Amino acid sequence: MDLNSIIRAASPPRLGLTHNRVIPSRHVIQCVYRFDSSNALGGLNFTPGGRYDWQSSCAILASKVVSQQQDTEKSGGADGISAVNGHHTHDLVPVKAAETPSAFPKPLSIADLLPAPMHGSQLRVAYQGVPGAYSEAAAGKAYPNCEAIPCDQFEVAFQAVELWIADRAVLPVENSLGGSIHRNYDLLLRHRLHIVGEVQLPVHHCLLALSGVRMEYLTRVISHPQALSQCEHTITKLGLNVAREAVDDTAGAAEYIATNNLRDTAAIASAKAAKLYGLQILADGIQDDCSNVTRFVMLAREPIIPRTDRPFKTSIVFAHEKGTSVLFKVLSAFAFRNINLTKIESRPHRNSPIRVVEDGNEGTAKHFEYMFYVDFEASMAELRAQNALAEVQEFTSFLRVLGSYPMDMTPWIPSREEN
């Protein structure tokens, strides 16, 4: 089926066109096609007239619509529904509503996308995980009163913003104990979103189990791999002889125990997750180090305008030319201008991971090629930052500014639970 032939052109809400919005909480819309990530960057094509074509291969077509109220648009379509969020529907098939709907929103998946938000509506922020995850808390800290959209994968959160399903994404990039989240660094390069801010969230782990379960009855502890490693010594001190099992996220571990009524299993998650899923807290603050902080970045489709009236941070990624001392020359461009580097991270160059060097006397040598991610404390509105990048560009084969954004300057108290 040719998707482009059935996707109708739509105008952005800011152009003043009338959209008949269906309340997202009362409809479940599921796409009949799997998303093709190779076409992710072609979702919106702008024309000089100011209009765009919604040409994502995972369009807002539905095979399932569950309605809990009478809709005003009953002029056509399946079950009397002719339009969803201003888009005409095609081949809508009504299905019977679930008898016991979940109390929490289902994580957004590649094959299950909601309609795009209307202009002026509540800010929608995508995060990876389920309700009760630390990423949800970070989204609430970054954007108070936002509508948090759970996603089952990091890449789905990127795509949700690219496809106008969400306005922002808040994703972790590094932890003070576990280090960098490499998956998100790779996705920053693959997608064309911009970093528009950062937020640092203290991580406060709890040991959760079903009500009435005692520690001595536990045989297994499940959580995210980093959470397990961050609580390893404390679990040993508690005298627990349990198996450690890794799952996708901390709150998902709590949800799994509550859903399956597992009385021999505990989860490492937040106190909020315990409240949401009806679990008791067996032990509070079980992280090995109270100085446990995760740094999140806020992503948007458009960059913000750099300023000089407050501390800014800039993130870049580059690949160096073949030769010696290139990295030293790049770093010297910042040192010469007294620009402080806060992070440098190397990741394999996926397009050319290995460089082969032929030497008639020594033989053949193989060198790994890398992309370098650098964060530095300066705004792109500052002349010194502009000059530094101009010099860096002379020694690199590729240079991209991921974002120039305000630094998170909020005070932080170690081992304090974020509400």
| Cα–Cα distance list, 95 to 61, 68, 193, 313 (Å) | 15, 12, 36, 49
What are the φ and ψ backbone dihedral angles of 243, each rounded to 5 degrees? -85, 145
Q: Give yes or no: 89 in active site.
A: no
Residue 218: which of 227, 228, 226, 207 has the closest Cα?
Answer: 207
Which one is catalytic: 89, 294, 314, 396?
Answer: 294
- 98 φ, ψ to 5°? -65, 145
C-beta separation of 286 from 206 below 8 A: yes
Residue corresponding to tokens 């125990």: 257
Q: Which one is catalytic: 296, 318, 372, 395?
A: 296
Find how far residue 162's CA is from the centre of its chain.
Answer: 12
Known active-site residue 294? yes
CA 281, 287, 222, 183 torsion: positive or negative?
positive
Annotated active-site positions, please?
A: 294, 296
